[in-house]
């Protein structure tokens, strides 16, 4: 059974974790939740402003074993993405997945993180529309598509695109 890890902090867009996680489990994948926070209880948000549910992470980023994951998913949420883009432990996990050419699936505001890790440069990506200038300034080509695949990178715009996003992850692992 293939294992897909989710990496997030607090104030992540709940549907981009919960619905993606549920759909991947329905397709037969094992999932694991990794947090960069200091507590395992992490707070989801709805539409970037309203408190959602809390979830319990399986492990902390410092304890993550990248070789055990077949893919990595980065949910969005403005605060979550902005926090992770400055987190060195998270960068290590993300770069290791990318360097191993494993699927790296990034949705909504999370492509911001690809800028700080140096992964965005030279890639064609989609993301939440407000990230277009940031991604282009970082040397990426921005496209407005529900999902875009560039080598092992799978990017998506927003929660409306989750079904296509999950299908792209599944296809990359098939």
pLDDT (tens, 9 = 90+) of the chain, 174 residues, equals 999 999 999 999 999 999 999 999 999 999 999 999 999 999 999 998 899 999 999 999 999 999 999 999 999 999 999 999 999 999 999 999 999 999 999 999 999 999 999 999 999 999 999 999 999 999 999 999 999 999 999 999 999 999 999 999 999 999
Q: What is the pTM of this model?
A: 0.97
State which fold the 3-173 domain adopts. Rossmann fold (3.40.50)
3-state secondary structure of 18: helix
Burial environment of residue 28 by CB neighbours within 10 A (0 to 12, 13 to 18, 19 or more): exposed
C-alpha 140/C-alpha 92 separation (Å) is 21
Domain boundaries, the chain: 3-173
Q: Residue holding tokens 């200091």?
A: 38
Q: How many H-runs (helices) and E-runs (strands) does the chain carry? A: 6, 12
Residues carrying an active site annotation:
108-109
Residue (of 111, 173, 174, 102) closest to 142 by Cα position: 111
């Amino acid at each position: 059974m293939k294992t897909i890890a989710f990496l997030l902090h607090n104030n992540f867009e709940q549907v981009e974790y919960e619905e993606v996680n549920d759909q991947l489990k329905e397709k037969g994948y094992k999932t694991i939740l990794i947090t960069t926070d200091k507590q395992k209880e992490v707070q989801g948000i709805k539409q970037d402003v309203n408190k959602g549910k809390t979830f319990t992470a399986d492990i902390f980023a410092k304890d993550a074993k990248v070789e055990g994951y077949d893919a990595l998913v980065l949910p969005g949420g403005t605060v979550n993405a902005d926090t992770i883009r400055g987190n060195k432990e998270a960068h290590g996990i993300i770069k290791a997945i990318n360097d191993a050419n494993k699927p790296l699936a990034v949705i909504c505001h999370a492509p911001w993180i690809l800028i700080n890790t140096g992964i965005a440069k030279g890639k064609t990506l989609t993301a939440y529309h407000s990230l277009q200038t940031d991604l282009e300034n970082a040397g990426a080509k921005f496209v407005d598509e529900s999902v875009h695949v560039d080598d092992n990178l799978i990017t998506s715009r927003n929660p409306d695109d989750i079904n296509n996003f999950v299908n792209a992850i599944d296809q990359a692992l098939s």
